[in-house]
Amino acid sequence: MSTGHVLLGLLVERPKHGYELKKEHDHRLPGSRPLAYGQVYATLQRLERDGWAEVAETLQEGGPERTVYAITDEGKAELDGWLERLEPPAPHVASPLFARVVVATLAGGGADGYLLRQRAAHLARMRELTLQKADGTPAQVLAADYALQHLDADLRWIETAIARLADLKEEIDA
């Protein structure tokens, strides 16, 4: 995910200050990692440097000074281009789950027990997400659906891995 592009998308509606962008990001993208305030302000500085956002005004409302940013025409063009680009399928397996299973097998401890515990953890998380969907906002339901689909794919892989562990162990021992 490009944090800069997400912030540009949040600025399309109207100019906003960093605190507001952080809160809106965390609300509109439930289930994703919350943004740190430092990340928001560093990203806004890069967007301004690149000509994709500009300072619209500076507010002083009884508290700290707040800089309000607006998306520029160049920023809107960049956002439109980003939204048109396809997200390439991952070219590599970058899963800690996969790495742990291989390393556990290499280390001689076997991965059967780990996979069964991981399966139970996945099922518990799936139950939590399913309950959250009952009274969630549309964005929360969409995020839960996304997470559920990924957990389901992991569960299918766990079942396949359990079935193939003997073959993997044999290959490693050879």
* Average pLDDT value for residue range 14-25: 94
Q: Using CB atoms within 10 A of its CB, is residue 79 exposed (0-12), middle (13-18) or buried (19+)?
A: buried
Q: Is the pLDDT of residue 92 over 80?
A: no
Contact at 8 Å (CB) between 90 and 27? no
pLDDT value of residue 18: 93
Task: Express each pLDDT in 120-138 by its tens digit.
Answer: 999 999 999 999 899 888 9
Average of pLDDT values for 107-119? 83
What is residue 1's predicted lDDT score, i.e. its pLDDT?
55
* C-alpha distance from residue 18 to each of 11, 29, 62 (Å): 10, 16, 17
9: Cβ contacts below 8 Å, ≥ 6 apart:
79
